[in-house]
């Protein structure tokens, strides 16, 4: 019998109480137990970034965190992030610039990009590439993704100014 | 792949962690940020019977500054160290290294103690700790002890930590006037482990270096102090001849084994490139 543990956490603002196997990672918990399949799983060792989401407001790899460790945490998945409206401009820019093809990397990429935009960093290609360096995309060749993020970062500049 | 089965315990305090480790013996393993251990579990390279999660021990996450210097707690996240104003001011070497460690999402979870306890010879923080003369604080069933960084790293994934012990953090000496740090690493892609890197700390006075600690990483089984290089520059004007002599001295300082990222010959070459760039930076450094 695999050991189980009770956890209580917030997922996209809603409280979830569940009993889970202790070895279950957060990505699999969200996908398999909560049917939130927007969190993608690629490598399961932290390298590809497909599983990136927010825990307590910070982006993390959900394949490298146990569901048990999310007890008491506030988790936001791509479903919640999209519904919040926070990334509407990024989503539009991704579509306009063809910054996705198969879409496998996109949820993680959007979390990393949102992090960059929210920090009000300037539309600097080098800095954007560096910030997204932990997210693999096997389709686009990255140029269009950097274009999209820079466009939104530049719009933000006209609104509020950068750090 | 998925992690194997294990039992899971949360440690609520240092004493509780030591007690849990003692109770479960050698089959227990500490879980900190999980950014190295979780991949090892998912690959089934690590198969601990019990994971002792130390994340609830809030005290261990502190970064404290006092007269003695700076203490970085084992559970301080890479991102917290990266964004700490105190670290930027007191430990500019560490501040320069942080953005080079992995990627933002990994730095949000990965911890100082995990990076040091892992003992990966390609990691940035161990080299910084050696260059700055940090002392590791360790708790165990028999009480606490300190180990200087130069003695802590004992080989590939091997440190002075004994089974049942918990790394509490590291004490860095207070910043000394006149000392200047430099950090540089060469990677194929930002955030990857370095092919070769170095952390340097030394006294710079009128263009001359003394008491230089020039510590390489990813060129051996642990951080490697380039003693010949330091002797070659000690007290000399940092001109082309001195820098050539310093780079030549690396022949005896380093014997890098090749790895997946670079052959031994390439690593030797890159170590020279790094030394030259960093010494040139020292030579042109304005103000101290
Ligand atoms: C894609 C990727 C890229 C990375 N790139 C880099 C890089 O460029 N440079 C780099 O340095 N690191 C890199 N890392 C590793 C990262 O920095 C890890 O966070 C770090 O090495 C381990 O810290 P952790 O807190 O995650 O430890 P964990 O993974 O939780 O633990 C690591 C080991 O240390 C032990 N341990 C942890 N804390 C303690 C303690 N307080 N006392 C005693 N033992 C303890 C654990 O039992 C385990 O054996 C990368 C990781 C990934 C996934
Ligand atoms: S699935 Fe988590 S980083 Fe690849
Ligand atoms: S769009 Fe296919 S992996 Fe990025």
Question: A26-62, pLDDT tens digit by residue?
Answer: 999 999 999 999 999 999 999 999 999 999 999 999 9
Q: In what order do the strands lie in the sheet with B7-10?
A: B7-10, B50-53, B28-31
**Beta carbons within 8 Å of A16's beta carbon, 6+ residues apart:** A7, A8, A9, A10, A34
Give the count of beta carbons closer than 10 Å to the beta carbon of residue B77. Answer: 21
CA distances, B202 to each of A38, B55, B210, B214, B273 (Å): 50, 35, 6, 8, 19
pLDDT band at A68 (very low <50, low <70, confident <90, very high): very high
How many residues would you count in chain B?
Answer: 288
Burial (CB < 10 A; 0-12, 13-18, 19+), residue A50, is buried
d(CA B49, CA B173): 38
Among A60, A112, A128, the residue to mutate for chain B (most B Cβ within 10 A): A60
Last residue of a domain, one of A63, A81, A99: A81
pLDDT band at A64 (very low <50, low <70, confident <90, very high): very high
Nearest to A59 by CA among A118, A121, A123: A118
Cβ contacts of B79 on chain A, cutoff 8 Å:
58
Nearest to B32 by CA among B128, B144, B109: B109
d(CA B186, CA B94): 17
Last residue of a domain, one of A54, A81, A108: A81
Judgement on whether residues A154 and A91 belong to the same structural domain of the protein:
yes
Say what the pLDDT of residue B16 is: 98
d(CA A147, CA A161): 19
Among B54, B105, B106, the residue to mutate for chain A (most A Cβ within 10 A): B105
Judgement on whether residues A42 and A110 belong to the same structural domain of the protein:
no
Cβ contacts of B109 on chain A, cutoff 8 Å:
60-61, 64-65
Say what the pLDDT of residue B190 is: 85
Domain residue limits at A97: 85-160
Q: Select from A28, A61, A69 the Cβ nearest to the Cβ of B105.
A: A61
Say what the pLDDT of residue A1 is: 53
- Give B109-119 pLDDT, tens digit per residue: 999 999 999 99
Q: Cα-flanking dihedrals φ and ψ of residue B23, to 5°? A: -65, -40
Terminal alpha carbon distance of chain A:
52
CA distances, B50 to each of A68, B30, B192 (Å): 14, 9, 30
Judgement on whether residues A61 and A91 belong to the same structural domain of the protein:
no
Q: Cα-flanking dihedrals φ and ψ of residue B257, to 5°? A: -75, 145
Q: Return the CATH number at A65.
A: 3.10.20.30
Question: Within an 8 Å CB–CB cutoff, is residue A137 touching chain B?
Answer: no
**What is the reported pTM?**
0.96
> Is the Cβ–Cβ distance between B167 and B72 less than 8 Å?
no
Strand residue runs (E) in B87-207: 135-140, 143-148, 153-155, 158-159, 166-173, 179-186, 196-205
Tell me, which fold does domain B183-283 have in CATH? Enolase-like; domain 1 (3.30.390)
- Please say whether the structural domain B58-173 has been given the CATH code 3.40.50.300: no
Judgement on whether residues A91 and A67 belong to the same structural domain of the protein:
no
- Atom of ligand 1 minimally distant from the CA of B102: 5
pLDDT band at A158 (very low <50, low <70, confident <90, very high): low
Cβ contacts of B8 on chain A, cutoff 8 Å:
3, 5, 22, 66, 68
Say what the pLDDT of residue A157 is: 66
Q: Cα-flanking dihedrals φ and ψ of residue A39, to 5°? A: -75, 115
For the Cβ of A140 lying below 6 angstroms from any atom of ligand 3, the answer is yes
Question: Within an 8 Å CB–CB cutoff, is residue A64 touching chain B?
Answer: yes
pLDDT band at A160 (very low <50, low <70, confident <90, very high): low
pLDDT band at A161 (very low <50, low <70, confident <90, very high): low
Pocket residue to mutate for ligand 3, from A97, A98, A139, A145, most atoms within 8 A of Cβ: A139
Binary contact (B38, A45; C-beta < 8 A): yes
Binary contact (A60, B55; C-beta < 8 A): no
The share of chain B scoring above pLDDT 70, in percent, equals 99
Q: How many domains are contained in chain A?
A: 2
- Give B110-158 pLDDT, tens digit per residue: 999 999 999 999 999 999 999 999 999 999 999 999 999 999 999 999 9
Judgement on whether residues A59 and A92 belong to the same structural domain of the protein:
no
Binary contact (A65, B38; C-beta < 8 A): yes
Question: Within an 8 Å CB–CB cutoff, is residue A65 touching chain B?
Answer: yes
For the Cβ of A51 lying below 6 angstroms from any atom of ligand 2, the answer is yes
Among B104, B108, B114, the residue to mutate for chain A (most A Cβ within 10 A): B104
pLDDT band at B216 (very low <50, low <70, confident <90, very high): very high
Question: Within an 8 Å CB–CB cutoff, is residue A25 touching chain B?
Answer: yes
Task: Check whether A162 has a pLDDT greater than 90.
Answer: no
Residue in B closest to A133 by C-alpha: B190
Handedness of CA B55, B117, B141, B52 (dihedral sign): positive
Last residue of a domain, one of A81, A97, A126: A81
> Across chain B, what does the average pLDDT equal?
96
Cβ contacts of B103 on chain A, cutoff 8 Å:
49, 133-135
- Give B63-95 pLDDT, tens digit per residue: 999 999 999 999 999 999 999 999 999 999 999
Tell me, which fold does domain B7-53 have in CATH? 3.30.43
Burial (CB < 10 A; 0-12, 13-18, 19+), residue B48, is buried
**Beta carbons within 8 Å of A104's beta carbon, 6+ residues apart:** A40, A42, A50, A138, A139
* Domain residue extents for chain B: 7-53, 58-173, 183-283
Give the number of A-B residue pairs with CB atoms closer than 8 Å: 89
Task: Check whether B288 has a pLDDT greater than 50.
Answer: no
Q: Return the CATH number at A132.
A: 1.10.150.120
pLDDT band at B199 (very low <50, low <70, confident <90, very high): very high
Judgement on whether residues A17 and A69 belong to the same structural domain of the protein:
yes
- Give B160-184 pLDDT, tens digit per residue: 999 999 999 999 999 999 999 999 9
Binary contact (B109, A61; C-beta < 8 A): yes
Say what the pLDDT of residue A23 is: 97
């Amino acid at each position: 019998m695999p050991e189980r543990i009770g956890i209580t956490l917030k997922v996209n603002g809603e409280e979830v109480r569940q009993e889970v196997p202790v070895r279950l990672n957060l990505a699999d918990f969200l996908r398999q137990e909560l049917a939130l399949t927007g969190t993608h799983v690629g490598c399961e060792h932290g390298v590809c970034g497909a599983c990136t989401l927010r825990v307590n407001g910070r982006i993390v790899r959900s394949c490298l965190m146990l569901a048990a460790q999310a007890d008491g945490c506030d988790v936001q998945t791509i479903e919640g992030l999209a519904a919040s409206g926070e990334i509407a401009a990024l989503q539009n820019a991704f579509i306009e610039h063809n910054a996705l093809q198969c879409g496998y990397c996109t949820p993680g990429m959007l979390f990393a990009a949102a992090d960059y935009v929210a920090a009000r960093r300037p539309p600097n290609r080098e800095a954007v590439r560096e910030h997204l360096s932990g997210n693999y995309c096997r389709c686009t060749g990255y140029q269009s993704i950097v274009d999209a993020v820079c466009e939104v970062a530049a719009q933000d500049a006209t609104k509020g100014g950068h750090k | 792949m998925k992690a194997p089965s294990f039992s899971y315990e949360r440690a609520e305090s240092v004493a509780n962690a030591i007690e849990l480790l003692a109770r479960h013996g050698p089959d227990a393993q500490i879980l900190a940020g999980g950014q190295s251990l979780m991949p090892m579990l998912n690959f089934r390279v690590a198969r601990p019977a019990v994971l002792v999660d130390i994340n609830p021990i809030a005290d261990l996450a502190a970064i404290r500054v006092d007269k003695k210097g700076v203490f970085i707690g084992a559970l301080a996240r890479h991102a917290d160290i990266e964004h700490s104003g105190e670290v930027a001011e007191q430990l500019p070497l560490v501040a320069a290294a942080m953005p080079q460690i992995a990627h933002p999402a990994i730095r949000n979870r990965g911890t100082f103690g995990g990076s040091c306890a892992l003992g990966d010879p390609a990691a940035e923080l161990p080299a910084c700790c050696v260059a700055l003369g940090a002392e590791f604080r360790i708790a165990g069933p028999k009480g606490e002890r300190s180990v200087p960084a130069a003695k802590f790293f004992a080989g590939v994934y091997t440190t002075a930590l004994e089974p049942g012990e918990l790394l509490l953090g590291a004490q860095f000496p207070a910043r000394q006037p006149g000392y200047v740090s430099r950090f540089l690493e060469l990677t194929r892609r930002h955030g990857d482990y370095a092919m070769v890197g170095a952390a340097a700390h030394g006294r710079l006075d009128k263009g001359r270096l003394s008491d230089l600690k020039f510590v390489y990483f990813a060129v051996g089984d642990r951080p490697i102090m380039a003693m010949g290089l330091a002797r070659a520059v000690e007290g000399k004007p940092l001109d082309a001849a001195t820098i050539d002599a310093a780079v030549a001295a690396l022949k005896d300082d380093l014997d890098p084994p090749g790895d997946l990222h670079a052959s031994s010959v390439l690593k030797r070459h890159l170590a020279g490139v790094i030394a030259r760039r960093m010494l040139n930076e020292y030579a042109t450094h304005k103000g101290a």
